[in-house]
Amino acid sequence: MAERRSADRDGDLPVYLARPGTADQLPRQKYGGLFCNVEGAYESKTIDFDALTVGQRSSRSPRATNREELKPSKHQTNFPSSHSEREAKDTVQIKHAFEKEAPQHLDKSERLLIKGGRIVNDDQSFYADIYIEDGVIKQIGDNLIVPGGVKTIEADGKMVIPGGIDIHTHLQMPFRGTSTVDDFSQGTKAALAGGTTMIVDHVIPEPGSSLVEAFERWREWADEKACCDYSLHVDITHWNDSIKQEVLSLIKEKGVNSFQVYMAYKDLYQMSNSELYEIFTFLGEHGGIAQVHAENGEIIAEEQNRMLEMGITGPEGHVLSRPEELEAEAVFRAVTIGSQTNCPLYVTRVMSKSAADIISQARKKGNVVFGEPITASLGTDGTHYWSKNWAKAASFVTSPPLSPDPTTPDYLNTLLASGDLSVVGSAHCTFSVAQKAIGKDDFTQIPEGVNGAEERMSVIWDKAVVTGKMDENMFVAVTSTNAAKILNLYPRKGRIAVGSDSDLVIWDTDATRTITAKTHHSAAEYNVFEGMELRGAPMLVVCQGKIVLEDGNLHATAGTGRFIPCSPYPDFAYKRVKARKQLAILKAVPRGMYDGPVSEFSPMSRGGTPSASTRTSPTKAPARNFYQSGFTLSGPEEAPIRPAGRRIVVPPGGRSNITSLS
Amino acid sequence: MSGTGYQGKKNIPHLTSERLLIKGGRVVNDDQSLYADVYVEDGIIKQVGENLIVPGGVKVIEANGCKVIPGGIDVNTCLHKPYLGTPPVDDFYQGTKAALAGGTTMIIDHVTPQPGDSLLEAFEKWQEAADKKSCCDYSLHVDIPHWHEGVKEELDQLVQEKGINSFQVYMAYKGLFQMPDSQLYEAFSFLKELGAVVLVHAENGDLIAQEQSKILGMGITGPEGHPLSRPEELEAEAVFRAITLGNRVNCPVYITKVMSKSAADIVTNARKKGSVVFGEPITASLATDGSHYWSKNWAKAAAYVTSPPLSPDPTTPDHLHSLLACGDLQVVGSGHCAYSTFQKAIGKDNFTLIPEGTNGVEERMGFVWDKAVAMGKMDENQFVAVTSTNAAKIFNLYPRKGRIAVGSDADIVIWDPDKIKTITTKAQQSALEYNIFEGMECRGGPVYVVSQGRIVFEEGKLQVQQGTGRFISRKPFPDIAYQRIKYRNKVMSKQGVSRGMYDGPVYDIPATPKYITPAPSAKTSPTTHQPPPIRNLHQSNFSLSGAQIDDNIPRRSGHRIVAPPGGRSNITSLG
């Protein structure tokens, strides 16, 4: 269904997007964007004025001819090249100054020059060359002076974008004695193949176990296997005083700034409102980002029982027991708690229209909240849960579920384009069909998760940019820059600028590929986007200064990925929060003491039968306190010591007869 | 203006006059207005029309063009709700007197049992008190302080035998009345089966408790701590959650005390989406705002303490009136719960102990007229709807109450739209020594009030008798709430997909080791048979519907294998 729809749209490809040098209007050239130009980079160089005019940026003939040649035909053309007799399969060529350097040793090359690309950042696009050394972008501009022996990549006017950051993955996630089929090696390979050069994985500690230990375990797995840079979120699966200390040490020492809490998974991960309040307050004070899995777990548990009682045991029960309302409700609640505690909120997996609406309304009201749709919610819908093929239906099981409303992907793409939703994750969490079959007689047992790391960037390009909803700069923002900002990694990641990490992608806007489980890089034997035709694909991926994807071949090495520590208080989220903290100080009204009579009342009995105590205060400990936890936030709440004595002597405004009404 | 006289023989100038003729008034119902006379006999409206033929010796009230409207129904009063052992100063006698003086001829009071008390006993206690003292007809809502298996039986009995069709649940008052979402779900499901209306006190109690301790910790102990610890967001959040629950269960939800713009907006949006939800602003939220909490006078500030609190936003009353006028909010209550200053002073050093409640039963109709009808927001028919008819419909009293029609109860008010009255403590019927509307001018008020066919208020004078009020029993399944629910029940039944059995390989899960550290079991589903986790926050010692966990349900998967519809498919391959 969805695949066919996208195929129909093939005709209305906005050509101007793909054609550099024709309709591109960028008179201004600010090299390096955020940073200053490299000193001396332009000394003793002829300024190429032609490069500043629209449409023809270089006077160097060979490339100019190439481009001329290129215009009528799209890619897959042979073109004459004065440098190389090779028949280029793609428009990107890699030349070697020294013939001896064989192209096989790609990963050894530490110096790279990307020539003639159009650099697309989240704020602007411009034509410039990029010189990379030691995994860092050293120079940006025209006619760069580079040392000899540099490998040159001819981008030929293609888009050069910062490598994608997949802010939500579950690689090598343990599940009941097994683990997801994509481990850090397999998963990051899939990510790289899709143009994503950094992933942020979720550490899920067992309830009751130590967060730091779990974090170290994940670090070990990832350091051993990851092929690209990574960072980690830590999920808070239970809450007490020692966890508080662990969270603090993770923020201060371990480089974790985002923590996920669950509003679903009753009796397992689910947090009560008061716990959420405490966690949010704590994170807000220490500069963390509170991520929430927003679904109302209480109602889900009830609905699941109802479904099972009705005899619905297949995957359709999953979506029936988790209607989108429950997602919207939880998002609303999370937003409320976030705004009460003045803590930035990040909603993971926005799967439905109504949840997205709540986020965009909250943002309009000024709340600091970020929404993350995932590849699956942007690319497909929940109609497949009713598939007659159990294995197919089960492969779509994830939480919150995909919405059965087929207009959802379109709607989410629109909100993404308008900036109401901020980043796109993949929530890549793949289980084999055999693993999914654990729940063949009971949908509540089906392990949850869909693929999407590899398809993430292409899905957005195809569904949002090609359809004209989004421009290329916004594309970079939602796939990379915003994530970097939220994680406080910007501008190291998420931008092509001097000094940034050299994670970049040459994006082919015209490439078309059909997604199928046969060719994807994930180890799963299904793909939820099976058969979908997507336009836009990475042509070349540079990760840590090395070419890892070229001509469709991956040259990734497991274990090369580094852990990137994130620091707290990201400006993107905390600037507003800090300013509000200064404003939001509450003050008591100075009054004279009430000196009238006080009614006799029976003191509230604790524990005993509360015979006659209606309408008492909620802060008193009752007979059945469901949420009692071992600590309070603000010390013992019973007797705040106040300088009450002073007030009687000279109350402001003179002594008033306090018992009478005005 | 208007006057009384006796037709025919002038020998029965008696208070217990059972026959009344109201002449020359404009009869206003919620759907139409017309000039007509109304003839009342034995407490029932016998004839409506012009040139009525009536027996001699009938008392005649000249309405002189004033509005003749159905008596008001105040759906939210607490006249017998003790706070820490002390009853409110307005009991059923004082309270109903005040109601009648304001044009309200029926009240529905809240029965508030303590957690652990029997609902039935509490109900009987309230009924006894009201039968003894009430001056007008009354009915009762029963609050469910705490959900457990035994409550179900009592609820069933209350609905089937006692004539109660509305029950209140609390999302606030943590540790006392508050119910977690799963209990609310159970309660909603059960009450829906009974055909009752679920009243919800919507505030997020968990967050309130947190905010209260924060604010006390900051040294704020005065009444301003009350609104600071209960910001309107928390009300809106709870309203949203209540509506979500209602939608899931397919149960009508009635939000008591809509106090803020954002909560009212949530109700409006939900109604637009088709949810069956009703919103009830109260007199206080319609006529005043929460700026008084910051008053330097402690007693004055404390007088406004009610929950949810009045919004400090001064545009709130206006907004609520607009929504009331356009039908997005349906009913006006008073939330009348009168505690004297002396009682409020229990919380003089700690705002969380201040007994909650404001007055409003007497002023209710007047302010709706003054702020909505006299301002041109609302017409007189809508006025009747929100003060009387809608309440009668929602609580299944219609058309006995809430309408002037032949056969209805003779609860009639003759309303003078131009009467101007200044609200003062001195002139009020309530026993309180303050009035939160002190000094406000109010246009529109009753000239005559007829309750049960007797004139009880005439030219500013009340003539009432204790104990004349009857308990009005109400049947379940009110049409206005349940008609849509019934159809939706039919449409919304869900069906599973019939598939062939999955016959591929199944990953072998090790039997969950019980009580051994369940090392590698992340991301499992919520209903799995896990060993009880270390901290089960919601564990309580009862279960609602027997063995909830779905272990013993035999699932009918056997006969599917034999001949799956569509023949046997190769289920393991994707396609």
Q: What is the pLDDT of residues A162-208, one digit of tens each?
A: 999 999 999 999 988 889 999 999 999 999 999 999 999 999 999 88
Interface predicted TM-score of the whole assembly (ipTM), two decimals? 0.74
Lowest mean pLDDT among A556-570, B231-245, B359-373, B518-532: B518-532
Is there a contact between B359 and B338 (Cβ–Cβ < 8 Å)? Answer: yes
Q: How far is CA A282 from CA A249, A337, A348, A633, in A?
A: 13, 12, 20, 9
| Antiparallel, parallel or unpaired: β A289-293 and A178-179 | unpaired
Residues A339 and B464: their CA atoms lie apart, in Å, by: 52
Q: Does A411 touch chain B (CB under 8 A)?
A: no
Q: Pick from A278, A339, A389: which is nearest to B569 by CB? A: A389
Look up residue B458 and give its DSSP letter: E
Residues A255 and A265: their CA atoms lie apart, in Å, by: 27
- φ and ψ at residue A607, rounded to 5 degrees: 85, -40
Residues A629 and B467: their CA atoms lie apart, in Å, by: 49
- φ and ψ at residue B332, rounded to 5 degrees: -110, 125
Domains in chain B: ranges and CATH = 67-489 (3.20.20.140)
Closest-CA residue of A relative to B89 is A599
| B153/chain A closest Cα distance in angstroms | 21
Tell me the per-residue pLDDT of A378-392, one tens digit each, with 9 for 90 and over.
Answer: 999 999 999 999 999
Residues A100 and A189: their CA atoms lie apart, in Å, by: 29
**Residue of A461, A481, A480 lying closest to A471 (CA atoms):** A461
| Antiparallel, parallel or unpaired: β B454-458 and B461-462 | antiparallel
| B54/chain A closest Cα distance in angstroms | 52
Residues A501 and A91: their CA atoms lie apart, in Å, by: 25
B447 three-state secondary structure: strand
Contact check, Cβ <8 Å, A613/B571: no
Torsion angle, CA of B28/B33/B37/B42, rounded to 10 degrees? -40
Helices vs strands, H then E, count in chain B: 17, 17
Q: Which residue has the tokens 């017409």?
A: B379
Contact check, Cβ <8 Å, A302/B186: yes
What is the predicted pLDDT for the residue at B500? 78
Contact check, Cβ <8 Å, A178/B507: yes
Closest-CA residue of B relative to A354 is B273
Look up residue A605 and give its DSSP letter: P
Is there a contact between B352 and B216 (Cβ–Cβ < 8 Å)? Answer: yes
Residue A602 has pLDDT above 90, yes or no: no
Is there a contact between A271 and A279 (Cβ–Cβ < 8 Å)? Answer: yes
Query: Which residues, 6+ apart, have CB-to-CB distance to B193 below 8 Å?
Result: none
What is the predicted pLDDT for the residue at A35? 46
Question: What percentage of chain A exceeds 90 in pLDDT?
Answer: 63
How many contacts (CB atoms, under 8 Å) link A and B? Answer: 415
**Residue of A547, A536, A471, A552 lying closest to A114 (CA atoms):** A547
Lowest mean pLDDT among A341-350, A636-645, B406-415, B443-452: A636-645
User: Could you tell me if residue A77 is left (phi over 0), alpha (psi between -120 and 50 degrees) or otherwise beta?
Assistant: beta
Centre a 10 Å sphere on the Cβ of residue B203 and count the other Cβ atoms it contains: 29
Residues of B in contact with A332 (CB under 8 A): 237, 240-241
Q: Does A656 touch chain B (CB under 8 A)?
A: yes
**Residue of A604, A620, A595, A652 lying closest to B341 (CA atoms):** A595
Residues A483 and A425: their CA atoms lie apart, in Å, by: 9
Look up residue B237 and give its DSSP letter: H
**Which is higher by pLDDT, B521 or B538?**
B538
| B183/chain A closest Cα distance in angstroms | 9
Torsion A60-A63-A69-A74 (CA) sign: negative
| A400/chain B closest Cα distance in angstroms | 12
Residue A410 has pLDDT above 50, yes or no: yes
Q: Which pLDDT band, with edges at 50, 70 and 90, does A593 fall under? A: confident
Residues A406 and A111: their CA atoms lie apart, in Å, by: 47
Beta strands in A236-342 (DSSP E): 258-262, 289-293
- φ and ψ at residue A458, rounded to 5 degrees: -65, -35
What is the predicted pLDDT for the residue at A589? 83
Q: Which pLDDT band, with edges at 50, 70 and 90, does B298 fall under? A: very high
What is the predicted pLDDT for the residue at A382? 92
Residues of B in contact with A329 (CB under 8 A): 240-241, 244
Residues A239 and B534: their CA atoms lie apart, in Å, by: 11
DSSP A7-76: HHGGGG--HHHH-TTTS-------TTTTSPPPTTTTTT----GGGGSSS-----HHHHHHHHHHTTS-SS
Closest-CA residue of B relative to A239 is B535
List, in sequence order, the alpha helices (H) in A419-511: 433-436, 456-460, 472-476, 482-486
**Residue of A169, A440, A428, A527 lying closest to B507 (CA atoms):** A440
- Write the CATH number of the domain with boundaries A163-489+523-529: 3.20.20.140
Q: Does A68 touch chain B (CB under 8 A)?
A: no
Residues A240 and B33: their CA atoms lie apart, in Å, by: 64
DSSP A464-482: IITTTSS-HHHHHIIIIIH
Q: Does A214 touch chain B (CB under 8 A)?
A: no
**Residue of A100, A70, A99 lying closest to A85 (CA atoms):** A99
Residues A131 and A152: their CA atoms lie apart, in Å, by: 9
What is the predicted pLDDT for the residue at B557? 42
Residues of B in contact with A206 (CB under 8 A): 517-519, 521-522
Answering whether pTM is above 0.95, one says: no
Average pLDDT over residues A337-341: 92
Q: Does A1 touch chain B (CB under 8 A)?
A: no
Top residue of A180, A221, A302, A659 to mutate, by most chain B CBs within 10 Å, is: A302
Tell me the per-residue pLDDT of B299-340, one tens digit each, with 9 for 90 and over.
Answer: 999 999 999 999 999 999 999 999 999 999 999 999 999 999
Contact check, Cβ <8 Å, B507/A623: no
Contact check, Cβ <8 Å, A658/B299: yes
Residues of A in contact with B83 (CB under 8 A): 601, 614-616
Residue A230 has pLDDT above 50, yes or no: yes
Closest-CA residue of B relative to A621 is B175
